[in-house]
Amino acid sequence: MPWKEFFIEREPGFELVEKTNVRKITYAEAINETFHQMMASDKSIYIMGQGVDDPLGMFGTTSGLQEKFGKKRVFDTPLSENALTGIAVGSALSGMKPVYIHNRPDFLLLAMDQIVNHASKWNFMFGGKRSVPLVIMATIGRGWGSAAQHSQAIHSLFMHIPGLRLVMPSIAYDAKGLLITSILDNNPVIFIQHRGILKHKSSVPEKMYSIPFGKGIIRRKGKDVTIVAISYMVIEAIRAAEKLEKEKINIEIIDPRTLKPLDEDIILNSVKKTGRLIICDVGWKTGGVGAEIAAVLMEKGMKYFKAPIKRVSSPDIPTPSSYILEEKFYPGMEEIIAAVKEIIK
């Protein structure tokens, strides 16, 4: 069946987390449904990764897939990330559409040679005649004391590499639409999901649809301060905005959805209105996503600012495992509120 026959266009004005006339499912359920629909429609798609056939199904995202599509299209992988990524790259070059799922992005560090030196560069080196339609997925975020080697948010590393797409949805609706776009794209895509939003529900049509890369969205309209929130920080920013509204401080929240390509215009247009910008990221501060967005805005919109840009992000230390220390390490609503009050002085 041609793709266009079951794709629907993105609904205009679908800006909020909820839509009353559409069923609500969790982020994990949206990912799982997408896999089922895409694999049923295209036999070249297969899923590999440590634990994809586990009873828990990678937080529920791969549940039922091996039972439906068999062990040749959904299979567990050994602890050899660089070699297995090389296999995925080779199969993509041969016409397959692999989805390689990692429990944690820390494991991607073991596959950087294949991701950075091979997957990202084949299309360029061969003048567009060869492509690598590979999706690499990983889950970040606070867990159960995962500590320094199993809870790193390293997405900014991939933002630095030409040839890669970087996708970080914050709600179930976007997760489905962007995963479809990622699987169909001829470029390698790094798809990062956050553990904190896997059970979060939002309105998701059962019918298949795509969301284009490089198109951010306004999650909440406001006039006093622009907040660019990445992944789970969208939820924390909304909580902060609701509290600040009681103090007559009006926040506009921008969700970029994809970091590469980045929708620079939606952020710039918001800053033209508010004159203030806070960037909330789920990763480290130094050399992070916030630094890149701040640089872009300074280059293109310095004249609009009434106050210096502020960043809310994780401190530049390895992630602790202690629950008490985790409480201090991970930023959230309170840190956002403090940043807003400082920037509007």
Q: Which among 227, 233, 235 has a CA at the least distance from the CA of 202? A: 235
Q: How far apart are the first and last CA of the chain?
A: 58
Catalytic one of 36, 102, 118, 150: 150
What is the chain's alpha carbon radius of gyration, rounded to the nearest angstrom? 20
The angle at the Cα of 178, spanning 78 to 44, to the nearest 5 degrees, equals 50
pLDDT at site 93? 97
pLDDT at position 185 over 90: yes
With a pLDDT cut of 90, the percent of the chain lying above it is: 86
Q: Which residues face 203 on adjacent strands? A: 24
Q: Which residues face 270 on adjacent strands? A: none
Tell me, letter by letter, the H, E, C secondary structure of 272-304.
HHHCCEEEEEEEECCCCHHHHHHHHHHHHHHHH
Helix (H, G, I), strand (E, B) or coil at 315: coil
The C-alpha atoms of residue 339 and residue 34 are separated, in whole angstroms, by 37
* In contact, 339 and 241? CB cutoff 8 Å: no
- Write the pLDDT tens digit of every residue in 286-341: 999 999 999 999 999 999 999 999 999 999 999 998 888 988 999 999 999 999 99
Alpha helices in the chain (DSSP H): 27-41, 65-69, 81-93, 112, 122-125, 155-159, 172-184, 233-245, 264-274, 289-301, 323-329, 333-343
More confident residue, 248 or 345: 248
- Write the pLDDT tens digit of every residue in 209-252: 999 999 999 999 999 999 999 999 999 999 999 999 999 999 99
Res. 20 pLDDT band, cuts 50 70 90: low
DSSP state of 106: G
- Write the pLDDT tens digit of every residue in 81-136: 999 999 999 999 999 999 999 988 899 999 999 999 999 999 999 999 999 999 99
Q: Is the dihedral of CA 253, 256, 262, 265 positive or negative?
A: negative
Average pLDDT of the residues in 34-38 = 98
The C-alpha atoms of residue 117 and residue 3 are separated, in whole angstroms, by 31
Amino acid at the residue 181: T
Res. 18 pLDDT band, cuts 50 70 90: low
102 is catalytic: no
Which of 57-61, 269-273, 288-292 is the least confident region? 57-61
Res. 5 pLDDT band, cuts 50 70 90: very low
**Which residues lie closer than 8 Å to 156 by C-beta, 6 or more apart?**
281, 283, 284, 287, 288, 289, 292
pTM: 0.93
Which of 8-17, 165-174, 331-340 is the least confident region? 8-17
Q: Which among 193, 195, 188 has a CA at the least distance from the CA of 176? A: 193
Average pLDDT of the residues in 160-175 = 98
Helix (H, G, I), strand (E, B) or coil at 322: coil
Res. 154 pLDDT band, cuts 50 70 90: very high
**Which residues lie closer than 8 Å to 162 by C-beta, 6 or more apart?**
120, 124
The whole-chain average pLDDT of the chain stands at 92
Amino acid at the residue 110: L
pLDDT at site 214? 97
